[in-house]
Structure 1
């Protein structure tokens, strides 16, 4: 037993905040990216099996998930992220017992919220269907998932508070795999074997979220059981001097969760506003049929959104990692560490997201054709959405940073201002730009929030942005150079390949993405930019790529 405790003690040796952030971001990024990639790859057979009904099916699917996402935020009530934040806070004080008790008390709250949210969505489904009877069973198939998601999310938040992102990432991946396997099997059976309606196939596709939740929750329970020795060791060696009542713990969590609800719901509210306003605006300014408007809605809210979420998931992963680290630094009253962590988070975001966004825009044609049936408008919508992803991702990171330093009121204020801007400019932009209008309005609204948040952080913590500005300029330069090269390659290969062929588009995509990725990595490593961002890991990459 003593040997086991010694090993646990060795494994728990403290590392720097930047190392924790990089390690956590690596796990979260890997899990999020693989999960998002799987969530995009399934589209290839899924779209094929729906045939001519694909855009209508995808519009129905997207409408269901947009409303479900809002209920998901309400059912979790921001508590998982708040628990992660507070567990990190108490752990930094060596009060592991309080963090453990906080998790157990929160379980009952989450179960209650899950049941209530599931019942509400089930019963109001007809009221929010906008007269479309087909969407009612879609809403109800997603309602049952709300029974499990809150508990699963809470457990992920608990591990996050220990800076242990592996269970979070692995459960996320298993959840996605289980969901997709059921989704594809059910869709194939209904559309190809039984020749049923596309509406029935969509209902089973959304019910797949419940199957995925079961898989993800089982993985988390296994990790919790496996890590009990380490957690029990920490519990046994806690100070146990701080007395916090259960009532105060729940009060703290509910107080901390409110900003997470509002901030976490921001992108969902943007999407929900698009869902209910886009058809109305387009019906008013055009003579398009309902079917044509649904098809356009599917292009930007469904097709493009699924692909840009692959890159945005990187930002979400960074945000999840940053919150407990900043909470720990604030608890220690270390303003220097807070300032450094803020700049490191923003710098890491731009290092990853700039090449991802520009690269996706450059290969938008082969990328779109790989996943969806060829659509001229859809390709340009995807390219435009790739740039908007920068604003969306940056908002996720900056809002998370504000929450991590307990500036919750400011985070809410700036998020609301951005949303108001979005609402004001939605009609004129949609009337003028049609399918691009909601995307442009989202980009502008998010940018307003981003500018206000960064300005606040700059003056509040006296951030030294000289290094950030220098490195960001280099990242932008390298990304633009990569973008031009990849765009030329994609255009040239497009002239000698069949633009409608998924196989040939895959070849073009692999060549373009491969060359683009190498160019950015080479320039970043050669200029020693990667060393500032990744530290010692840059040398490892330099050896692999044989760059001196």
Structure 2
């Protein structure tokens, strides 16, 4: 029976991971055709308000459901669980209503603080999302706490598919009918509440099947752990910690929304040009998102073994597993980031049609390395119940970004914002790694970093040297087809060189290599 239950849990976790991966890929990829249709200025309008959506959806999709599922799993009986989720729903409904009304009433001041009052209707458009967040968070959390992942996975896929479909349809319609960028942005951002309605319909079906009632908390089942005061405190501290780290990159983008445009105008850049520059700067976000998907999908597959070693193994085994996850995550993230830098001119042309902002984007994609490390370090520290440390690290990074971002844009332009993002993430990484060392976790020993830097530099140089060969072979092709061929050639050469040098210099142990999917086939081929 226990074996069957564990099998169900693992199948559910795999289903949710696959659904989450598909949703992340969709969320990153749609921005490319969207930017191609609406241009730099249209992309700027959408991306200025996107962080508000991103924070709302992180809370409703991953952060709060994860915390609520923990509370549900800890509860003894079905009645206690139902009473618990009713109380949480009422708390979240009150909070969400305040956020909704705040965004409606203060939309104009918020848009003014972003340097563009024209964004006001777009802020009001996205605010409707928050009315659906409590139901989505509580229903998803309840079913995850019952080890039923199908409702969350299905609603997540439906939500992303509907949202992406609406956005691309709006972009196409706006392009055909020559809408101004603010009208386009208002309707594109309405995709968030529309998608939330469809996701809520999916969850409502499962709620109806299980006859759950979210507005009937039982006064007889109240304990000291489920009173409103205690639940509010736990939602803010524990749920808030999980949610804030899940939305780390979105929070940094929110700071950009309030500082980059204003900084460019304070520098003397005309508003129309500043909007276009911000739109080019925002190209970095889908690139980083795709890089993080690649890096974290490998490392997240190793995290279950880390949890198992913490629960059933020794501290020594836990340390060894954690060090492995950190080293492999850093290696993969660095390869992805440096590969993107090496191919940035080709990637920029392939995805966005020109080479605007190559330097700005090359700096920005360094975020992949540090953001990946932060996510892994955070998972390890939270498994050790080090919540206060992770919040302190996140606060440090956000404070640096808030204090320095606008100053950097005024003095250095958009590339200044890229450097401050990387600096903020670097300081967060250093803070968390320092804490891990106190737990006897020292993943970067035995010359690991010098080897990784050397391998990455050789890969970067080799990729840039092979590109002229691709250009010569595709001289008669269109710019985008040439860029595609160059990128494909560069990726092939980059992967072979990185893996070959990593094996030669023993960057990772053989045991660590074999943890990667299909690694044995790749190693056998390279040894030939």
TM over 0.5: yes
Task: Find the partner of 2:435 among 446, 456, 466.
Answer: 456
Aligned to 1:180: 164
Matched, 1:438 2:393: no
Which moved further from structure 2: 73-82 or 197-206? 73-82
Deviation at 1:489, TM superposition (A): 2.5
SS at structure 1 position matched to 2:365: helix
Equivalenced residue count is: 508
| Secondary structure of the corresponding residue to residue 543 of structure 1 | helix
CA-atom RMSD in angstroms: 4.3
Is 1:508–2:486 an aligned residue pair? yes
Q: How do residues 99-178 of structure 1 correspond to structure 2 at under 5 angstroms?
A: 105-130=87-112, 132-157=116-141, 171-178=155-162
CA contact (8 A) 1:191 1:198 kept: no
Match of 2:219 in 1: none
SS in 2 for 1:462: coil
How far did residue 61 of structure 1 move? Answer: 0.6
Q: Relative to 1, partners in 2 of residues 1:120 and 1:331: Cα closer, same or farther, differing over 3 Å?
A: farther
Does residue 388 in structure 1 map to residue 367 in structure 2?
A: yes
Q: Distance in 2 between matches of 1:498 and 1:176?
A: 39
- C-alpha contact (below 8 Å) 2:158/2:198 kept by paired residues: yes
Give unpaired runs (5+ residues) of structure 1.
1-5, 229-242
Alpha-carbon offset, residue 473 of structure 1: 5.8
Deviations 1:433-475 (A, max 9, x none): 211101111211221121111111211x122536x65666655
SS of structure 2 residue aligned to 1:280: helix
> Which blocks of at least 5 consecutive residues in structure 2 are unaligned?
211-222
Deviations 1:231-283 (A, max 9, x none): xxxxxxxxxxxx87532566544441233355455433432222222233333
Cα distance in structure 1, aligned partners of 2:452 and 2:81: 40
CA distance in 1, matches of 2:123, 2:116: 12
- 1:209 matched to which residue of 2? 192
Confirm or deny: 8 A CA contact 1:478 1:523 kept in the other structure: yes
Aligned to 1:289: 270
Q: Is the 8 Å Cα contact of residues 74 and 261 (structure 1) preserved in structure 2?
A: yes
**Aligned partner (choices 47, 52, 62) of residue 62 of structure 1:** 47
Give the drift of 1:98: 7.0
Equivalent in the alignment of 2:215: none
d(CA) in 1 for partners of 2:143, 2:464: 42
Listed as ranges, the matches of 1:331-346 within 5 Å are 335-336=315-316, 338-346=318-326
* Paired position in structure 2 for 1:237: none
Give 1:267's aligned residue. Answer: 249
**Partner SS, residue 352 of structure 1:** helix
Question: Residues 456 and 65 (structure 1 numbering): CA distance in 2 closer, same or farther, change over 3 Å?
Answer: same
Q: Does 1:485 align with 2:479?
A: no
Does the 8 Å CA contact 1:349/1:394 hold for their aligned counterparts? yes
Cα-to-partner distance string for 1:400-434 (whole Å, 9 max, x where unaligned):
43333222222222222233333444355334421
Q: What TM-score results when the alignment is normalised by the length of structure 1?
A: 0.77
TM, length-normalised to structure 2 = 0.79
Post-superposition CA distance 1:47-104 (Å, at most 9, x none) = 3433xxx21111111111123334556778953342345567x49xx99997787556
Cα deviation digits, residues 1-45 of structure 1 (max 9, x gap): xxxxx5x84362599xxxx7x9968963x5555434433443444
